[in-house]
Each structure stands twice: as structure tokens, then as C-alpha cells.
Amino acid sequence: MDVTASLTEPVTGHPDGSEPPPGTGTYLDHAATTPMTSAALAAFVEHARHTGNASSLHSAGRAARRTAEEARETVAAALGARPSEVIFTASGTEADNLAIKGMFWGRRAEDKRRTRILVSAVEHHAVLDPAFWLAGHAGAQVVLLPVDAEGRLDLDALRAELAEHHAETALVSVMWANNEVGTVQPVHDVVRVARHHGIPVHVDAVQAVAHLPVDFAASGADAMTVSGHKLGGPAGVGALLARRDLPLDAVLHGGGQERGVRSGTLDVPAIAAFGVAVRDAVAGRESHAARVTALRDTLIARVRDVVPDAMLCGPDPRTDPGGRLPGNAHFVFPGAEGDSLLYLLDSAGIQASTGSACQAGVPQPSHVLLAMGVPETTARGALRFSLGTTSAPADVERLAAALPQVVERARAAGLVGGGRA
């Protein structure tokens, strides 16, 4: 085998040996972004034809405002919230920043002692980075709550932290389900523990909506982040659901839109499409989750068949069926670099990821895997396969056909390059 060419020669799982055209093939990266639904796209196009600033008082402006408010009501109804609790943003990242910074500053204004921000060690960087920014610029103390080997929050650590430091704690933030390894977090238990001490909780539900039952009111959370492009809506729109009585300072300042905490002209076409996508995702959740769960279990079994030493990260569906997101399968392949695996799969027409798309190209191993106790050298061989509305059994079989050769070449390339002993 010519290992020197292992990262340049195309690999193919296609019977005819052809290389798929760029941008086509098997898409197994729905956690990064998933296609817009036809209904959401139609809503976007329809409202993009109309001119009108939702803050204007003339008829065009009022029509735009009506569209935005109808979408607000739709999102609220689908997610168990009141319309007045829905704050539209330009992304899930913006909503997370508004939650972390806004809640911290709001709580500090009430009590200067409240400097501690409690976040799980496996949060998305859209939560971790604003928390650490506050540590560097606003006197915050960030406490990373540990997780177990499957990526699940240690509730005893949270209880101990709050028992000792509840008077100094500003907020707790924990994701509903992890974007990399798919672990579902004990959100309701987190809220119960925090509420006992009067501490508000923010939940990043970006990956959960459309896959898990998500109800804002029933969860007891004080704020919750949702993103459009993860559930069949457009990129560039999201929402923070926040209780009306939650202390929440503005991060963006200007025209005072969205309860005065998120200034900026509303993107009405995107908001309309977002409303449609949320409504349809929630309505179709049960059937969608059942279908992709079965497909995910097949994918996990096939990967184990063709690469026996592949290690599944996160809860194993065989012993914990509800422990991970329906469409998530995350593996590490010992002896291979994730980036090599990714590029070789891509040349075979199979699109996956090494983890969060927001961290693509970053050479460090995943902070999520390290927090779970995965050794750094092992963590570098990570691949995430995530399924969605367009996924089919044929996608799994194409992956199974291509993967053995891909893993062999990636491991050989690591040996040639001196990356493995």
C-alpha cells in the first residue's frame, strides 16, 4: 500500500468506482446544520418579497410586525412558552451570549456578591467563551462542573457547589443535549437543585428541539436557547426564551427592540421561516426521532462491524436507550487523526465532522472528550456522524463500505508522518 498518497488519493465506497461531484454524496453532519424544510423555505421566500421594517408605523411596517408577532406566537406555542418570553436573535450563539452576559450583569446589579457562573465542562463554546470573557473583563468566577465518562453532568458536584457558594452564584448554564457526543443532560434535576437555592438556570436547547420533548415552562428553566438552522429553518435566526421577571441586561444596544434587551431590526423573512420550522419540527418530532433512532442504531452496529476497535463515545443505546440524541453517533478511532479521517471520508463523498462545526480547523482535541476522561491522543481520532430528515439506510451502508479503507489510510498516514508510535 502506498501510504504516502493516502491523504491525496480519492477513496470511494461507490460500486462503480466513481468519485461523487463536490457538494453531493452522503451527508452525515446534520448536527452542524440541517436542510431547510420546504415549508420553511416557502415562508422565507414569500416574506422576502415584501418590504417593511417591523418597527415602522406605516402599513408596510405594521404588516411586517404582524408577521413577526405571529411567528413569536407559533414558537411560544410549540415550545411551551408565552409569546412575551420569546426574544428573537440572529443565532443560537447570540442567544447564548445574551443569556450568560445578560443574566450575569442582571444578577450582579441586584447583588454585587454574585460573581460565580456555573457551567458544565462540556458546554458549547457559545456558552463557555462568554463566561470566560466575563471572567477576564467583569470579575466573574467560572466554575466548570464535572461530567462522568458518558458526558453527563455530576449532580452531586452541582449540589456541593451550591450548598457552599449559593450566595455568590449568579447563574447555572447546562445544555439540554451535547452537540458532540449527544449525551442528554438531566435538565429537570439541575433546575430543581438550583431552584432550591434561588439560582436561575439557562439551558442551551439548540440540539434538543426537534429530537427530544422540550417544554420551556415544564422544564422550570429561566432561559433557553434555540437556533433555526438546526431544526429545518434558515441560518441567521434563533431565539432566547426568557421569563419576563428574569434580570436580563442588554448585550446589543440601539433601537430597543425585543423587550429592550436585543436591539436590531428584525429579520422578518427569517423569523417567519423560523416559526414554521419550529412548529413543524415539534409536531413531527416523535416520528422523526423514532426513524433516526433506528437508523442511528444501525449505523453504530455497522461501524462496530467494519472497524471493531472503534470506540463509541457517550451513552450506549444498548444499555441506555434514551441517554443520547436520536441522530447522534460519535466514535473515536484509535491510531487515526480526526482531520485525516474527515478528509478521506469527504473524498469518498461522505460528509461528517470531527465535532462542533464552530471549532472546525482547531488543532486541539475536543474539550468535551477531555472532560469525559478520554486521553488526549485518543481524542484526536474523533468523528461525529449525525442524522437528519434526509438520512436513509443507503447512507449508512455507504459509510460502512468506505470506512475500513479510510481508517486504514488515516492510521498509515499517521505512522508515516510520525504522529503515532
Catalytic machinery residues: 358
Segments of 300-404 assigned E as strands = 311-313, 328-332, 350-351, 382-386
Helix (H), strand (E) at residue 26: strand 26-27
Q: Are strands 223-227 and 201-204 parallel, antiparallel or unpaired?
A: parallel
Q: What are the backbone dihedrals phi and psi of residue 201, each rounded to the nearest 5 degrees, phi first? A: -120, 130
| CA angle in degrees (0–180, nearest 5) for 275-82-256 | 80
d(CA 122, CA 86): 26
Q: What are the backbone dihedrals phi and psi of residue 170, each rounded to the nearest 5 degrees, phi first? A: -90, -45
d(CA 32, CA 57): 38
Return the closest-CA partner of residue 88 out of 223, 194, 239: 239
d(CA 116, CA 79): 29
Question: How many other C-beta atoms are found inside a 10 Å radius of the C-beta of residue 110?
Answer: 10
